[in-house]
Amino acid sequence: MFPKSFHIKPILGLLPYIIGIVALGLIPPLTGSTYLAYLVGLAIVLAIFAMGFNLLFGYTGLLSFGHAAYFGAGCYAFAMLMKYYHIQSFELLFLGSVIIATLTAAVIGYVCVRYIKIYFSLLTLAFGQVEYALVVKLYNITGGTDGIRVMMPTLLGFTFKDKGFFVTWPFYYYILAIFTICVIVLWIILNSHFGKILQAIRDNDVRVNFLGVSERRYKWYAFILSGVFCGVAGALFAPLNGHIGPEHVYWGFSATPLFIALIGGHRVFLGPIIGSFIYVLVRHYVTAFTIYWELFFGAIVILFTLLFPYGVCGGISLWLARRMKSAKTSL
């Protein structure tokens, strides 16, 4: 009853990925527009976040409702380390944020992986909301609903004054570099022995125990890995956006990676990446022109779940597979 899975052998090898990264790299020189650089940067950050989320959802079959908690942990770690410990170097802050986000994911994950299906989702939701309540309540540390302002960190020791320049050039390429590394690392993980076991867990988690693999421990490893990617996304997002607040921990924000994964195609490696770009661009121009953006977005979600359940990339892969007949293909 479910669509054909996708043999991981990409159609044209690594070509589409290289073209994509190069194209993104050309945006600042060609357009020079701070605004577009900011938008693409945001899309990349959300792509990393969605890739981390999809490692659990699309590849291990675990639907988490509280993933904003780990993204938010990354953001707040970055902001608070900068504010209270006066660390300026991005690299140090980045490391600290990723570690703290991963620890949060590890602790919450350890408890949540004991449960299956809807219990797992609701437990992650509950933990996410407790973190949200903490962030709002400890308002003399976290600034509560006013949030915390994030200054410009130093990149590789260089300090910058003009935020416009910072976003368009140095930090843009920094994000692009980290994004490329994340894509490569995730691609290797998903095609590794561990990745194959995760996909087995997705299809039939109980039977995996009878292969000699502890289903619970491997789900936990997947949860921690997902936390790493969320931490990376959170750490990149804080300086890019310049300000973080409790809405980045609220469960409403946890729906974003689910949107992105399902629009892009959660059973395809490229799905969350393409989905994120579509999401950011569509969302952005819709909110600019109408106050009824929720109606527009609700309609898109209903359309995709009914007509394109495999998402954009899933649909394209299926179409290509049918036309190529022989090899099972995938983007």
Partner 1 sequence: MGTYKHWREVKFLSEEKKEVSRRKFLATSIGTLVVGAVAGYAGGYATAPGKVVEKVVEKPVEKVVYKPPPKRPVPKEPIKLAYRDHLSGALAVRGEWTKRAMELLVEETNKEGGILGREISLTFHDEAIPVEECVADFRRLGLEAKVDVIIGTTSSGVALAQAPVADEIKTIYIIPHAASYKVVMEPHKYVFRTNGHTGAVPIAMALYVLKKMPDVKRVAHIDMDYAWGRDNWNVFIATLKKYKPDVEVVAEVWEKVGEVDHSTAITKVLAAKPDIVFNSHWGGQLVSLVRQAIEYKFFEYTTFVCTVIEEAFPEIGPDFPEGQLGAPWTFYWEYPGYRWNLNRWFVKKFIEKYGVPPNYPCMQCAAAFFAYKTAVEKAYEVLGEYPTKEQIAETLAGLAYAHPGGMNRIRREDHQALAPPTVGVTKIDPKWNMAVLHDFEVISAELVYPPPFTEPLEWIKTW
Partner 2 sequence: MFEAYPAYILNGLLYASLLFLLSSGLNVVLGVLKILNLAHGSFYVLGAYLTTSFVALFVATGLPIYLVYTQILVAAAVAGIIGFLFEPTLLRPIYKREESYQLLLTFGILLVLSDVTKIVWGLGAKVAPEPFKLLGSFTIGGIPFPYYNLLVIAVGFVVFLMLWFFFAKTRTGKIIRATATNREVTTSLGVNVPRIFTLVFVFGCFLGGLAGALAVPMQSIFPGLAMEMLILSFVIVVIGGMGSLEGAFIGSIIVGIARSFGIVYFPEIELAILFIIMIIVLLVRPQGLFGRRE
Partner 3 sequence: MASSKDEISKNILVTRNLKKYFGEVHAVDGVNLSILEGEVAFIIGPNGAGKTTFLNLLCKWLEPDEGKIFFMGKDVTKMPPYKLTKMGIGRSFQLVNLYDTLTVFDNIRVAVISRLGRSGKIFSLVDRDKEVAKETEEILKTFGLSDKKDLLASELPHGDRKLLDVAIPFALKPKLLLLDEPTSGVSTEEKDPVMKTIVSAVKAAGTTALIIEHDMSIVFSYSDRVIAMHEGKILADGKPKEVQENKLVKTLIMGE
Contact set with partner 1 (CB under 8 A): 33-35, 38-39, 42, 136-137, 139, 143-147, 149, 162-164, 237, 241-243, 245, 247-248, 252-253, 283-284, 287-288, 291-294
Of 36, 10, 159, 176, the residue nearest 88 (C-alpha) = 159
Would you say how long the chain is, in residues? 331
Amino acid at 293: W
| 146 DSSP assignment | G
**Which among 294, 317, 45, 80 has a CA at the least distance from the CA of 182?**
45
> Which string of x and - marks every residue 87-126 that binds partner 2 (by CB under 8 A)?
------------------------x---xxxxx-xxx-xx
CB 54 within 8 A of CB 198: no
Instruction: Say which entry of partner 1, partner 2, partner 3, none residue 219 contacts (CB below 5 to 8 A, set by partner kind).
Output: none
**273 near 184, Cβ under 8 Å?**
no
- Greatest extent of the chain over all pairs of C-alpha atoms, in Å: 62
* Alpha carbons 57 and 91: distance in angstroms, whole number: 29
Minimum CB separation from partner 2 for residue 267, in Å? 10
310 binds partner 3 (CB under 8 A): no
Q: Which does 215 bind (CB under 5 to 8 A by kind): partner 3, partner 2, partner 1, none?
A: partner 3
Nearer to partner 1 among residue 218 and residue 259 (C-beta): 259
Instruction: Give the residue from 61, 67, 69 showing the smallest Cα distance to 118.
Output: 61
- C-alpha 130/C-alpha 136 separation (Å) is 10
Residues lying near partner 2 in the complex (CB under 8 A): 1-2, 57, 63, 111, 115-119, 121-123, 125-127, 129-130, 133-134, 136-137, 251-252, 255, 258-259, 262, 292, 294-295, 297-302, 304-306, 309
Judged by the rule CB under 8 A, the positions of this chain that interact with partner 3 are: 2, 4-5, 7-8, 188-189, 191-197, 199-200, 202-204, 207-215, 218, 267, 328
